[in-house]
Chain A
Amino acid sequence: MTTYLIRRTGEAIVVVIGVMVLTFVMIHLVPGSAARATLGTRATAERIAVFNAANGLDRPLAAQFVTFVKQAAEGNFGTSYSLNQPVSTLLAQRLPRDAVLLGLSTLLALAVALPMGIFQAVRRGRVADHVFTVVSFVLYSMPDFFFALLLIAVFSVQLHLLPSEAPQAESVAGILADPRALVLPVVTLTLVSVAGFSRYMRSSAIGTLAQEYVQVARAKGLPERLVLRRHVLRNSLLPVITVLGLSAPGVVAGAVIAESVFNYPGMGLLFYQAATSKDYPIMLGSTLVVGVATVVGSLFADIAYSLLDPRIRYVDA
């Protein structure tokens, strides 16, 4: 177990370094320059040169990268061109808000998807299974922004039940203090991921139900409810956990859209604004954060997996 963790963490660090190199290179390959974007199209060559010199953009890429890594290690991602604030400050402000939004919606998605997947597996091939399958595919194939707009149209514009704008408070406590405003963004993100998770859970539970140990559990005289809870749930969860760990980028991509639509002041909105104004430091910083979050997510998934599956836990025992 320890060996496994050490090795797995080492791999994660290598991947993070790879992520840093890739994001840096990609962002500098994007056409258009930061100077033009910040200073406007009419800026003179001198002013651009001054801007580039001030931000170190006239140095070779490799040198820029070294500086970037050094500073990133100290938690310094540079200063935003357009907002004139340190990127680290901006990220520190926004990350907790995202933790609230994405955490809530992922938890909710699992709470719906896991029982739904098992239910469908138990009722495999019957009407209920088909109905849920159709619903899943509709949700899965609907674009996030369209879905968000649809919810706004129905619940805010038509029914006046819920506000169309997310909470604007600065602090996490402030956001949580306005649960009604949180409903639509959370529901949007939840429904989008429910579809995927429940499909995985369904096929995984179908596999588990066919296992002989499920029949053995029934032969003991366990009621079906307990058979499902004790023996089917945990074993079916394993493949879903892997998917969950790798779902971070998808969730963040969903957040970029949902946050723009609902004007939620999170990372997604920040990134969206930075991308339109070619604010390299913010883009670099937030891409890196998402990259690290993905790596950490999959690391956590592996750890959770090994806790749930003794076959992995004891591999070197």
Chain B
Amino acid sequence: MPLLEVSNLTTHIRTRRGVVRAVDDVSFTLEAGETLGLVGESGCGKSMTGLSLMGLLPPGGAVVGDSSVLLDGRELVGLPDRELRRVRGNDIAMVFQDPMTSLDPTKTIGHQVAESVLLHRGCTRAEATERAAEVLGLVGLPHPRERLKDYPHQLSGGLRQRVLIAMALANEPRVLIADEPTTALDVTIQAQILALLADLRTRLGMAMILITHDMGVTAGHTDRVNVMYAGRIAESTGTDRLFRGMRHPYTQSLLASVPRLDQDPSVQLPTIPGRPPDLTAPPGGCRFAERCRYATDRCRTEEPQLTGADDHRYACWHPTSGPLPAGTTAAVPRPDGPSPSPSPSSADRPLLEARDLVREFPVHGNRLPGRARRVVHALSGVSLELGPGETFGLVGESGCGKTTLGRLLVGLDRPDTGTVTLDGTDLGRLRGRELRERRRDLQMMFQDPYSSLDPRMRVGSILREPLQIQGIGTARQQKARVAELLTEVGLPERGAELYPHEFSGGQRQRIGLARALALTPKLIVADEPVSALDVSVRAQVLNLMNRLQAAHGLSYVVISHDLAVVRYLADRIGVMYLGRMVEVGSADDIQLRAAHPYTAGLLKAVPVPDPELERAKRGTGISGELPSPVDPPSGCRFRTRCPLARERCAEEQPVMRAFGPEHTAACHFPLSTPLADAAAGRLNGGGVPGSAGGR
């Protein structure tokens, strides 16, 4: 008998718009010691499935029909609330997505972990606290006993997620539901948390349901996968088979649209057109038919049921046989833009040049007179150059200073020292009107498509505003320009009359891009342009960004924590760590010939959508967490987490050395030999070539 047996699970949520069929006839089993992935895009029902198992549905939600959830043979559906509460947090526990908001800010972590022990074990408070210290140790919180009295805000995101896991594991549940447990974390921390979950699963013999949208995470951390689409299971099989021999076209398209580290940047990413159906009135036939490349009339009228052998079931009339073969992926070649590796060393002046940028922010809070002023060292001497039509990618963990750098580059903030030069003009010297006029060349595209557009302005006004501010054209010309912009980003012209909330996330990000384009800028700084989007939509926006760059000769600075995204867009990549640039090089240099141990670790931490490669990985890339930027380590700032660090790293700050044309890194003990050393004697260790560097 399987540990958990879910059959015909159907969940309805009553809303003002009607009844949403969030989960529709979902069946699966789960054995002890096994991890089942629930995979799909937002709104596909994967989280709702988890919440249905926990009995934690939102208001108006109910498990209906002949749904059945058997835990060790015991029926959970229809259990009275009092009984269900004994199961919750005891037999089945859940870890949620956002560690920043999942802990009560007014209670100590010890108290919060002990709370669930007290509730289910009927022990004394002292025993519960003892148990809390024990599980906090188990999840790798350093010095758990001393930290029991810590409040959540005193911990980093990674540590908070460990506390949440401890809370879920406190009563040694038999099933752990992890709902996007690492989506809000940096890749380095993500790798650590996923490794921890896998280790705990084995040690405690738990069964785990891993809910994720990330195909890389799925590849590395699940045994079997249910791919969900529009509330139903589209395909269900072992992880290896899913990636190598998927039968459902949705799985196929989903995997193809994920940019991979080894993606050929000259080929457009395949996308899934359209958006998932409205679940208040799902279509009659196959729910994916509208967006499916193989759909026939039968798909639109007759709904396919899950068929196939027990170990590989899929719901499709026209099953495929494996992944889209490379090359034939409806691959439209990327339009000819600037050459893939432009050479800024050529005579033409760089468009943008940043020199030795330093930016420090005072630490907020109160300071007694006489106590030293404390500052966050956001940027400590960063330089970079960018040619016309070039894309520079910036990667690094959160808190490394990449967003601050982006803001300095577009003149939204001024450096404390150092200069930003655009076309020969020092932005730091511009004031008032001159600066405002210069802003038309520098635009920004933001991460969150929901908060970056004024909800009370029509899209037409949002797009016109930059033109009005800069006084460009007559009202008629401005309106024409708005229509042109909408067409350019692939939105209908009548969109100008609508409000932002009437668009999907991907469409809003297109509006954001159109707004940035309105003034025909020379440079767009895109700060995490696709992080908030689903993979299929992500591919659409990435393709659009590439097309517009080619059409307008734009330069981009793309800031992202996602190396694959940066790798796909960028000609050159800069890796930042704690306010410094540690390595700069072409996309290939960074991916294939990384010289800095941090770059190598970061690459290793990125989950790859390939089960074999994921399993072959040893270790988690980079251990530990980013030190405080208030008090950065001496010498090389990465030394506290570096496997190769020696005494010299603490004493002496490494300078940028060349490892190839345009490839520089700042490390005392690099992974490959620097050019100057290789040609020792001839070059005599002369000046450091290369277009970017850090102090």
A interface list, Cβ under 8 A from B? 3-4, 6-7, 211-213, 215-223, 230-231, 234-235, 308-311, 314-316
Contact = CB atoms under 8 A, between A and B. Distances in A.
A212 B96 contact: yes
A220 B167 contact: yes
Nearest to A123: B59
Contact of B106 (A212, A215, A235): A235
A129 B223 CA distance: 47
B367 A219 contact: no
Contacts of A234: 106
Given A221-B86, A221-B116, A235-B105, A216 B154 contact: no
B366 A7 contact: yes
B101 A311 contact: no
Given A4-B366, A310-B153, A316-B365, A219 B105 contact: no
A217 B88 CA distance: 10
Contacts of B364: 315
Contacts of B365: 315-316
- Max chain A Cβ within 10 angstroms of own Cβ: one of B87, B104, B107: B104
B102 A213 contact: yes
Contacts of B106: 234-235, 308-310
Contacts of A308: 106
Given A4-B366, A231-B107, 7 more contacts: A212-B98, A215-B102, A216-B102, A218-B88, A219-B94, A219-B168, A221-B119
Contacts of B88: 218-221
Nearest to A1: B366
- Which 4 pairs between the two chains have the least Cβ-Cβ distance? A221-B89, A220-B89, A220-B116, A221-B88
A26 B125 CA distance: 59
A124 to B, nearest CB: 8
B103 interface: yes
B93 A219 contact: yes
Contacts, number: 87
B97 interface: yes
A216 B119 contact: no
A219 B87 CA distance: 10
Given A211-B101, A235-B106, A308-B106, A219 B368 contact: no
Interface string B366-393: 1110000000000000000000000000
Nearest to B90: A221
B377 to A, nearest CB: 19
Contacts of A314: 151, 153-154
Contacts of B366: 3-4, 7, 315-316
B115 interface: yes
Contact of A213 (B90, B103, B116): B103
Contacts of A315: 364-366
B85 interface: yes
B586 to A, nearest CB: 41
A4 B367 CA distance: 9
SS class, residues of chain A in contact with chain B? helix
A315 B107 CA distance: 16
13 contacts: A4-B366, A6-B368, A212-B98, A215-B56, A216-B102, A219-B168, A221-B89, A221-B90, A222-B85, A222-B119, A230-B107, A231-B104, A311-B151
B104 to A, nearest CB: 5
Nearest to B97: A212
Contacts of A219: 54, 56, 88-89, 93-94, 96, 168
Given A219-B56, A220-B119, A221-B89, A213 B101 contact: yes
B153 A311 contact: yes
Interface in B164-215: 164, 167-168
B120 interface: yes
Interface in B24-49: none
A218 B119 contact: no
Contacts of B97: 212
Contacts of B116: 220-221
A221 B104 contact: no
A221 B54 CA distance: 9
- Max chain B Cβ within 10 angstroms of own Cβ: one of A221, A223, A231, A316: A221
A211 B104 CA distance: 9
A309 to B, nearest CB: 6
Interface string B343-367: 0000000000000000000001111
Nearest to B154: A314
- Max chain B Cβ within 10 angstroms of own Cβ: one of A6, A230, A235, A310: A310
A217 B93 contact: no
Contacts of B54: 219
A215 B96 contact: yes
A6 B116 CA distance: 39
Contacts of A309: 105-106
Given A212-B102, A311-B153, A218 B120 contact: no
A213 B115 CA distance: 13
Contacts of B86: 221
Contacts of A221: 85-90, 116, 119-120
Given A221-B90, A316-B367, A216 B96 contact: yes
Contacts of A6: 368
A220 B105 contact: no
A310 B151 contact: yes
Contacts of A235: 104-106
Interface string B103-143: 11111000000011001100000000000000000000000
A215 to B, nearest CB: 6
Interface in B55-100: 56, 85-90, 93-94, 96-98
- Max chain A Cβ within 10 angstroms of own Cβ: one of B87, B96, B366: B366
B368 A213 contact: no
A222 B86 CA distance: 9
Interface string B324-351: 0000000000000000000000000000
B530 to A, nearest CB: 24
